[in-house]
Chains A and B, each alone.
Chain A
Amino acid sequence: MIVEMKTLFVAFFFILSGVVNAATGEYPLADVDIGQDEESLKRGAMIYYNLCRMCHNMKYIRYQHLAEIGFDEKEINDLRGDKLASTKFMSTASDENITELYGMVPPDLSVMAKARKKGPQYIYTLLTSYYEKSENIYDNRFFPNIKMPDIFGYSVTMNDAEKLAIENQAKDVTAYLLWASDPRAQERKTLGVYVIGYLFVLSLMFYFVMKRVWSRLDTH
């Protein structure tokens, strides 16, 4: 019976994880792995800084945080100019101007990578789904009628080499957004190894102590 109960329990959590991981929309998400290597993060940060920041805030990220993804002091100082290192990444456009253009304030990107199901794949797919619907009319297959313009020019690429270059840029900026959504992820994963390792050893030790203590019962 106990075996059966265990199987059920495992099955329960299996089904549960399936429910939690249920896929997002109808348009399939691109199956990409978004890494966290430093060069990619730095390139992604610069793409955000030069392109995305025209419209999107990242209010939880400040200049000083760039040090965490490999920018050295000089690079940060060059970027921030006379602004404080603790200045937040805020859009270069004013809320009024941008609302006039798009009818809304574009969402803050600080936590975007965790605010959508399969966030990194979502962002990458969105950036690489622009196409030319009819002459000079552009749309997005993943997010029809999106207000955001095709900032990388993916819909007007002439050849595969250009496409690939843009796909790599999309990967870089996604990597950066993934980092920004949870800057402590690396620290978390590193610490996790020690914690779980420690608990594993401690479990083993308690197991043997338990066996030893309980063996006293059999001798009586």
Chain B
Amino acid sequence: MKKMIGWIDRRFPLTSFVKHELTEYPTPRNLSYWWNFGSLAGVVLVIQIITGIFLAMHYKADAAMAFDSVEHIMRDVNYGWLIRYMHSTGATAFFAVIFIHMARTLYYGSYRAPRELMWWTGQVLLLLLMATAFMGYLLPWGQMSYWGAQVITNLFGTVPFLGDELVVWLRGDFVVGDATLTRFFALHYLVPFIIVGAVLVHLVALHSVKSSNPSGINLADKDNIPFHPYFTVKDLFGLCVFLAIYSYFVFYNPNLFIEADNYIPADPMKTPLHIVPEWYFLPFYAILRAVPDLLGGVIAMGISVMIFAAMPYLDRSKIPGGARYRPFYRVMFYVFVIDIIILGYVGAKPPEGALVPLGQVATLLYFGLFALLPFGSKLEEKWLRKRGLPEEVEAMIQSEEKQKEDRRQRKADRRNARR
């Protein structure tokens, strides 16, 4: 064994890689369970890919056969019901895990320097995940699949000048049809592997900047512990708890997240009374509907997803630790979470009565919070520093300011020297 590893090590950095990335990879010892969700997302991705490949072995991407083939999988294929329900519940689990992962990043301010690239690769991953989920939802070819795709592809018609051509180009037909189904299937199979690639980039960035931690302060060496065995076992424990909850839904409530209407085969002649997207799109859907003008709604929806990328610039506070040392930011965080829940509720209901203004107020609040952040964070910083921060936090801010000042000084010197 030793000889074999030696042979490999002379040709490939196996031992040093394992050492550097696992057995000696320094991880802050104070990480809470909220730091489990990154690895959980990785596991859910693997579950989705594996169950997806097995589903693809029996699924027929053909408008005349798709619905029947899904029922065939659930009735006639050995454990087909298990694979299918794992995959459909897995989509929900994926978004639940990712939303918590994002909420943790926002709460603890983990998106700030030097982790901006982690946050942005994460943003790309979110977009890829949304695209994959949207395309996957068409495949069962039920009423909600069909009309959901019809409504969402229609949104591209609002693009000035090119709109109508763009919609036809996307669908491969004038309405959602067989051509749309086959291309969505092809892409739904492809994009997850692109996600795997993007996850690797996300991880390379992580292993360069290392994990943030609840204190927000870069820990002394003695407070970093090797990833293995401490966090391998912690992640495994978290994984088992997660899988138990996930299994409850797979085995006892698999249709909770599937609209009843989606068990009615797609019918292009019959529009369902009430078209709703999957729960994970509801807040964004509510924002789309809150704007009276369709093009404006599409733009608002796009910004509502993409605005997270601006967080490192919107949050101008130098105080580390995210919401931990920042009462104002903490309040904003909770208001934001509640606002998203309200938007989700509004998105699930028909736009009638008091829900219309409620959705509009919630939308304004959504963007208002982001708009408030640059000023709020700066004011909060000033106020907190006047009141006095914990010593190590103040020291950290000052050293950062000094570094910045030095950099500016050096730049100025160089400029002067050139003259």
- Report chain A residues within 8 Å CB of B257: 20
A117 sits at the interface (CB 8 A): yes
B149 part of interface (Cβ distance < 8 Å) = no
The segment from B43-51, B159-167, B239-247 found at the interface with A is B239-247
Q: Is B341 an interface residue (CB 8 A)?
A: yes
Asked if B230 contacts A213 (CB within 8 A), the reply is: yes
Distance in angstroms between the alpha carbons of A60 and B70 in the assembled complex:
11
Interface: A102 (CB within 8 A): no
Q: Which of A9, A11, A188 contacts B81 (CB 8 A)?
A: A188
A50–chain B nearest beta-carbon distance, Å: 24
Query: What residue in chain A is nearest B225 (Cβ atoms)?
Result: A217
The reply to whether B82 and A60 form a contact with Cβ atoms under 8 Å apart is no
- Output the nearest chain B residue to A20 by Cβ-Cβ distance: B256
Is the CB–CB distance between B323 and A1 below 8 Å? yes
Determine if A93 is an interface residue (Cβ-Cβ < 8 Å): no
A114 and B263 in contact, given A1-B330, A199-B244, A199-B247 (Cβ under 8 angstroms):
yes
Flag if A188 contacts B251 (CB, 8 Å). Answer: yes
Count residues of B near A (Cβ-Cβ below 8 Å): 49
Q: Tell whether B324 is near chain A: CB-to-CB under 8 Å.
A: yes
The distance from the CB of A68 to the nearest CB of chain B, in whole angstroms, is 10
Known: A182-B74, A206-B240. A214 touches B260 (CB 8 A): no
Which A residues, 1 to 51, have Cβ-Cβ distances below 8 Å to chain B? Answer: 1-2, 4-5, 8-9, 11-12, 15-17, 19-20, 22
Q: Which of B224-255 contact A (CB under 8 A)?
A: 225, 229-230, 233-234, 236-237, 240-241, 243-244, 247-248, 250-252, 254-255
- Contact at B345–A110, with CB atoms within 8 Å? no
**Shortest CB–CB separation between residue B203 and chain A, in angstroms?**
23
- B264 at the binding interface (Cβ < 8 Å): yes
Q: Looking at the complex, which of A149-157, A161-169, A189-197 is the stretch in contact with chain B? A: A189-197
> Which of B230, B244, B256, B344 touches A203 (beta carbons < 8 Å)?
B244
A16 and B75 form a contact (CB under 8 A): no
User: Which B residues lie within 8 Å of A22 (CB)?
Assistant: 348
Q: A1-B330, A188-B81 are in contact. Are A12 and B248 (CB under 8 A)?
A: no
Question: B318 near A: Cβ within 8 Å?
Answer: no
Contact residues in A for B236 (Cβ distance below 8 Å): 206
Decide if A2 touches B32 in the complex (CB within 8 Å).
Answer: yes
**CB distance A203 to B341 under 8 Å?**
no
Interface bits A99-117 vs B (CB < 8 Å: 1, else 0):
0000000010011001111
B261, CB-defined interface residue at 8 Å: yes
Tell me whether A158 is interfacial, beta carbon within 8 Å: no
Is B334 close to A, CB under 8 A? yes
A206 and B237 within 8 A (CB): yes
Inter-chain contact A206/B233, CB cutoff 8 Å: yes
Taking the complex as formed, is B111 at the interface, i.e. its CB lies under 8 A from any CB of chain A?
no
Does B202 count as interface, using CB distance less than 8 angstroms?
Answer: no
Question: Do B255 and A184 touch across chains, with their CB atoms under 8 A apart?
Answer: no
B107 part of interface (Cβ distance < 8 Å)? yes
- Asked whether, in the complex, the Cβ of B252 is within 8 Å of the Cβ of A192, the reply is yes
The answer on a CB contact under 8 Å between B32 and A60 is no
Roughly how many angstroms separate A182 CA and B258 CA in the complex, as a whole number? 14
Q: Scoring A residues 129 to 141 as 1 if CB is less than 8 Å from chain B, else 0, what string do you get?
A: 0000000000000
Complex partner residue of B264 from A17, A115, A187, CB under 8 angstroms: A115
23 contacts between A and B (CB under 8 A): A1-B330, A8-B338, A9-B100, A11-B341, A12-B341, A15-B341, A16-B344, A19-B279, A19-B282, A19-B348, A20-B257, A22-B348, A110-B71, A111-B263, A114-B255, A114-B263, A116-B260, A184-B74, A191-B82, A191-B251, A199-B240, A199-B247, A213-B233
Could you list which residues of chain B lie within 8 angstroms of chain A, going by C-beta atoms?
Answer: 29, 32, 34, 68, 71, 74-75, 81-82, 85, 100, 103, 107, 225, 229-230, 233-234, 236-237, 240-241, 243-244, 247-248, 250-252, 254-257, 260-261, 263-264, 279, 282, 323-324, 330, 334, 337-338, 341, 344-345, 348
